[in-house]
Amino acid sequence: MDGLFDDSPLLWAVLAADFVDVLLKKRLTALFEACPADHLQRVRSDNGFRGKLNAYLGSERIDASRYPYAYLVTAAQFPGSRFNPATFWFLHSPDMVLQAIILEMNNVFGERHPYLVARESQKEEEEEEEEEEEEEHIHNMAQNDPGLQCAQIKTTWRKMFHISPFNSRRGSYSILAKDPLGPGMQGFRELDISITLSSSKDQPKLFANLLSEGKAIDPGRISILGKVGFVLSWFGSVLAILPRSMMQSTILFFKHNLHFWYRPEPFKESIGRSANWIEKNLEQVFREYSKYLVQRSTAPVTILYTPGGVADASEQTFISPSMCGPGDSTCEIEIKVLTPIFYSRFVHYAHDSEAIFCEVAESSHQKPQTSTNGHSPSVKGNDIRGFRISSMDYFVLEQGDEELKNEYLRSVIRLFVADRIAMSDGAHRKSGCLMGGGIAHYADDPGLRMIPH
């Protein structure tokens, strides 16, 4: 599926009833571990995997108590290799029946998108069983197993995330997955997952099967020598992932002449890439600057700010000191940054309002124009506004925090020098900002959408 399962180094399962770290002994966690920070939202969680799962379900307006049991199938981390193309969360009801799956996808740009797919109705499943045969690996299971239908999920959903440059973001996925724990969560049996990628015209384009080979290995029951041998057995596959992916991409592009799709900015439902050190510094300044503006406001204003791409930064609410009268209403604004490049773009503007509305209104669907297909306009506009430093620049200069000043100065200088060397601001063409509370809502499409609060 868009090359998702090519040489996945290791698929590891964790029982998520209490989500304790039982993968390996502490002496080997540096070589072989699963980290909650690499899954779902980029926020800190004090409760590990269970906390991340509960937070995600809450964001989808789902009561986490509906799924008290979860089974995580993911790729273990290895030093220098953190790419995890696909993760499966098998969610079980209090009766230990498989009810839903979270298919979490990652691309090479560091972006992430979780698909929450639930079981289709029993009636639809029965009709489909009469019309078509099951997949061979499902069909070969014991026919007299009364829990078969409760131990698998078959459904279809719309594609919303860019994975491969050789496939567009349009189309749909279909999945047929068997519960790895079997009916009643009796214990790990096997992995048996089939996924089909279809085009926007419902034509199948790609099939992917994820099957387990051999019996499961419990790392707590094998010796140190056995663990080392096990890691070395797939070490070569880890190193070969990137070279083989590049080789196959070259073949697809030059030999098969497939269309190349430019990467679009992720939808608001997706999780943007992690911020680099420049964007982290600018995010801290942008946060303090937003807080400063709200505290200076003479009008009753409340801003809910959600950062983008910074795992250590959490949501924060800024409230102006103005007191509301009996008949007054508070202006509530929600600012959600979809991608951390917004911070790099924000410092290019001299006016805050211009920065916000230009970034919100800009379309990120269109491919950036190059010098070969661009045409110089016959009429050129001139900016009649006088030169001045931006309000955020002035705010930083007035601060007594020398460390904040130095980090901001170093980040901005490096950013502008890089733009000057590249002779373009193409690196900052696309960003994302979602605003609510009656101002604007940006969902990777042109124009503005008003949201009543």
Q: Are residues 242 and 299 in the same domain?
A: no
pLDDT at residue 370 in the model = 41
Decide if 22 is inside a domain: yes
pLDDT at residue 28 in the model = 45
Q: Are residues 119 and 30 in the same domain?
A: yes
Cβ pair 271, 112 in contact under 8 A:
yes
pLDDT at residue 383 in the model = 56
Predicted TM-score (pTM) of this structure: 0.67
Decide if 375 is inside a domain: no
Cβ pair 430, 341 in contact under 8 A:
yes
Judged by phi (left if over 0) then psi (alpha if -120 to 50, else beta), residue 263 lies in beta
Burial class of residue 6, CB neighbours in 10 A (0-12, 13-18, 19+): middle
Q: Are residues 212 and 331 in the same domain?
A: no
CA angle 232–213–183, rounded 5-degree value:
130
Decide if 4 is inside a domain: no
pLDDT at residue 29 in the model = 47
Q: Are residues 37 and 174 in the same domain?
A: yes
Structural domain ending residue among the three candidates 192, 223, 255: 255
Q: Are residues 128 and 242 in the same domain?
A: yes
Strands 69-75 and 86-92: antiparallel
Q: Residue written as tokens 């700010």?
A: 305
Q: What is the pLDDT of residues 275-303, one digit of tens each?
A: 888 888 888 888 888 888 888 887 788 88
Q: Are residues 286 and 250 in the same domain?
A: no
CA angle 354–360–365, rounded 5-degree value:
130
Decide if 383 is inside a domain: no
- The residue segments making up the domain with residue 291 are 277-365+388-436
Q: Are residues 234 and 323 in the same domain?
A: no
Decide if 96 is inside a domain: yes
Q: Are residues 341 and 237 in the same domain?
A: no
Decide if 356 is inside a domain: yes
> Considering its fold, how many domains does the chain have in total?
2
Q: Are residues 93 and 233 in the same domain?
A: yes
pLDDT at residue 424 in the model = 47
Question: Taking Cα atoms as reference points, which of 372, 362, 312, 323 lies closest to residue 341?
Answer: 362
> What crossing angle do the helices spanning 277-296 and 402-422 adopt, rounded to 10°?
120
Q: Are residues 250 and 305 in the same domain?
A: no
Q: Are residues 222 and 332 in the same domain?
A: no
Q: Which residue positions in the chain have pLDDT lower than 50?
A: 1-30, 122-123, 125-127, 129-144, 146, 363-374, 384, 424-453
Tokens of 389: 């430093």
Decide if 349 is inside a domain: yes
Tokens of 197: 């990628």
Decide if 3 is inside a domain: no
* Interacting residues of 194 by C-beta distance below 8 A, sequence separation 6+: 135, 137, 175, 176, 177, 207, 208, 209, 210
pLDDT at residue 362 in the model = 59
Q: Are residues 239 and 101 in the same domain?
A: yes
